[in-house]
Amino acid sequence: MFPLTEENKHVAQLLLSTGTCPRCIFRFCGVDFHAPYKRPYKELLNELQKFLETEKEELISDVPNPPPKKIRLQELEDGIDGIDNLSQNGEGRVSILEDGSIASKNSNLNVCNVCLGILQEFCEKEFIKKVCQKVEASGFEFTNLVFSVSFPPQLSVREHAAWLLVKQEMGKQNLSLGRNDIVQLKEAYKWITHPLFSEELGVPIDGKSLFEVSVIFAHPETVEDCHFLRAICPDCFKPAKNKQSVFTRMAVMKALNKIKEEDFRKQFPCPPNSPKAVCTVLEIECAHGAVFVAGRYNKYSRNLPQTPWIIDGERKLESSVEELISDHLLAVFKAESFNFSSSGREDVDVRTLGNGRPFAIELVNPHRVHFTSQEIKELQQKINNSSNKIQVRDLQLVTREAIGHMKEGEEEKTKSYSALIWTNKAIQKKDIEFLNDIKDLKIDQKTPLRVLHRRPLAVRTRIIHSMETRYVDEHHFHLYLKTQAGTYIKEFVHGDFGRTKPNVGSLMNMTADILELDVESVDVDWPPALND
């Protein structure tokens, strides 16, 4: 069933005669059900022309004293009763020349003056197949997809011009047409293409899918269509660091909402001129949203930083915890890059023992995303077999939201440490026993000198929940501490030139320093423990 009614005829004829394609005519006539848009273009055009035959005869008969052979170019430019160039939007582009003869340009397609070909050849199965070939060649693993398109911003200008034309014509019949009454180009495009993509790739289109296929269109021939708007609405076009052009779709829409109708008509033709060529496809991009892997790591080396240690462009140590884990994940997930995060960090000379430290790795644009629990277990084993400096446990796929549990623990949870302490004065066992009785000691820590280059200067209050001592000899003892997360343990021992108060040295009334430090536990219940 043809979607247009008698009351649409006049507007449909006007648009068709000025170079608008059938699908755009449907949009301007408010056809908001999918089926008509999905029909083949040639079929739509033939049916539209049949539907409009009587209207065309009426329009032509309205022309006073029609010339038998010649139609002057001036009359064509001025437009005769809404027929601006009398070119039929058919298989070929038809123009009437000065001598009355008919010439055909571009025998394949008369390019729509509103959508610039988007709702013509870029909706057909042939084009969808080309996009799908690119998707299949990209090597991504996916079970559904989201399809997005980026149209040239000048399409908004052309649509505005066509709207003003139709609005004026409908006004003559005491009818109105609001901007929101027009079906959006992007909506119509998706109605047509989504089923074709699903059929070709054999997967559903899902707006929540992490796998995105995007097509970016351009139309160099009409790129200057937007430029007059900048002179009239300069505030709408401000340069942005990440944008190559100020003429973004949002900026153009903002200007179109501000400009007066009469100012627009003075600067831009209504209806818009017909272009010579359809849009070009700048890019077909495939991308997968990040996936997240979490676990806990133990670090057994006192010569291994958590992240690559690079100073002034020079690498200080050959590897890091981050790299020993991430290199394997990058290879298996076939990801482009990664971001490593953890619940706190230890210094290069500090070991992390016990159940280990929680960590998460964001894998950017992974090509492989589906793994069985057995495959993840084997990946964990591969990481553990590759180095004796670290071990990983509880390796698992997690959501972005779940990582928040790890970050909460950085400040709110407790951590346990063991340290080997040196004192400048000789000590007896009884000299350190008083430390065992101190509970929930509040200390003030000014940002340590050693991290001042990467942390803001501030005084942070932290709590030492408990301490336990074990005497070694007259200058050494072991100290076991349970503290608030975020406490600088080394500075609590030696005082950092008075920047941490009180400290072990001040409590003992002597100089104390730390020789070895181990993280015994990070009390964050995440990620969930797995039965290995």
Active site residues: 347
Instruction: List the one residue out of 291, 123, 336 whose CA is nearest residue 215.
Output: 123
Ramachandran angles phi, psi of 317, nearest 5°: -130, 150
Using alpha carbons, list the distances in angstroms from residue 344 to 30, 398, 488.
Answer: 58, 19, 11
For residue 245, the tally of other CB atoms under 10 A from its CB is: 12
Instruction: List the one residue out of 187, 128, 210, 166 whose CA is nearest residue 29.
Output: 166
Distance CA 502, CA 235 (A): 57
Residue 394 zone, left/alpha/beta (φ > 0; ψ -120 to 50; rest): left
Instruction: List the one residue out of 81, 88, 29 whose CA is nearest residue 59.
Output: 81
Residue in the structure block whose two tokens are 């005869």 = 57
Distance CA 336, CA 327 (A): 11
Beta bridge partners of residue 417, listed in sequence order? 481, 519
- Helix, strand, or coil here: 515? strand
On the 0-12 / 13-18 / 19+ scale of CB atoms within 10 A, 112 is buried
Q: What is the dihedral of CA 24, 29, 33, 36, to 10 degrees?
A: -50
On the 0-12 / 13-18 / 19+ scale of CB atoms within 10 A, 331 is exposed
Amino acid identity at 366: P
E strand or H helix at 170: helix 154-171
- Helix, strand, or coil here: 183? coil
Contact assessment for residue 158 and residue 112, using Cβ atoms and an 8 Å cutoff: no
Distance CA 205, CA 210 (A): 11
Q: What is the dihedral of CA 192, 194, 199, 203, to 10 degrees?
A: 180
Instruction: List the one residue out of 118, 156, 152 whose CA is nearest residue 223.
Output: 152
Q: In 337-396, which residue ranges form alpha helices assigned H by DSSP?
A: 373-386
Instruction: List the one residue out of 472, 294, 311 whose CA is nearest residue 400.
Output: 294
Distance CA 343, CA 364 (A): 20
* DSSP letter for each residue of 248-260: -HHHHHHHHHHS-
For residue 324, the tally of other CB atoms under 10 A from its CB is: 20
Residue in the structure block whose two tokens are 């009785």 = 437
